[in-house]
Amino acid sequence: MRTRVVLVDDQVAVRTGFRVLVGLADDLEVVGEAVNGRDGVAMVRSLHPDVVLMDIRMPVMDGVEATRQITSDPDLAAVRVIALTTFEVDEYVLGALGAGAAGFLLKDIDAEDLHAAVRSVAAGHSLIAPAVTGRVIEELVRRRGPEPIAPERLDVLTAREREVVAAAARGLSNEEIAGELFISPLTAKTHVSRAMVKLGVRDRTQLVILAYETGLAEIGDRRRR
């Protein structure tokens, strides 16, 4: 089965470029294109794609608000949003992550990296490995305030799940978490998945953000890559 992708960008050239790049992979396909956030939300509600490549800055409705509407809609719980930007860190990127985006990509990304990103997000993972995304997450949490919020929210987690979430917040993969905690990669993945369900977050990126917000992880803990 192919991973179904919707493109949302107000520039024809950008949509054309991404459509061509996505089309180079046999397992990915573009099923729709929209020119602004409002139309993008309507298209996503109609088509229920696996992944949305969402431009951040657009007329009518920007990508931040469009992302928020998609991620807050229970009927679209399976849809993952990747923000597209020309800047590594700005207010819009922070806003998109805060609104529930699984991560972000720079618009000059090459085909191989794009394919890997879409597949990863569609599989329920997120784009937290690149160092730049880690910096954005840290900046997002820093701007939300120095004090941890609602640390009792983590009370639903077991001690092992807390360890796994803390390791994920440091940028470790499931395989690396398994090696550090002497468990299998499948067990690590299961703990991450259960933690996301218990905490009501959509993906690994939101799990990491919550780990910082509750004080389970601290600024500076993340691995630098």
Single-letter amino acid, residue 97? L
What are the tokens at 174? Answer: 């499931």
What are the boundaries of each domain within the chain? Answer: 3-127, 147-213
Bridge pairing between strands 3-8 and 51-55? parallel
Question: For 156-180, b where at least 16 C-beta lie within 10 A, e where not — what string?
Answer: ebeeebbbbbbbbbbbbbbebbbee
Q: Which fold has domain 3-127?
A: Rossmann fold (3.40.50)
For residue 123, the number of C-alpha atoms closer than 13 Å in the C-beta half-sphere is 12
* Fold type of domain 147-213: Arc Repressor Mutant, subunit A (1.10.10)
Quick one: pLDDT at residue 225?
Answer: 42
Report the distance separating Cα 55 and Cα 96, nearest Å: 10
Average pLDDT, consecutive stretches of 10 residues, N- to C-terminus, the chain (225 residues): 95 95 96 96 97 93 95 93 81 82 88 92 70 64 64 90 91 89 94 92 83 77 51
- Residue 40 confidence (pLDDT): 97
Write the single-letter amino acid at 170: R
Alpha-carbon gap, residue 101 to 14, rounded angstroms: 20
pLDDT of residue 129: 45
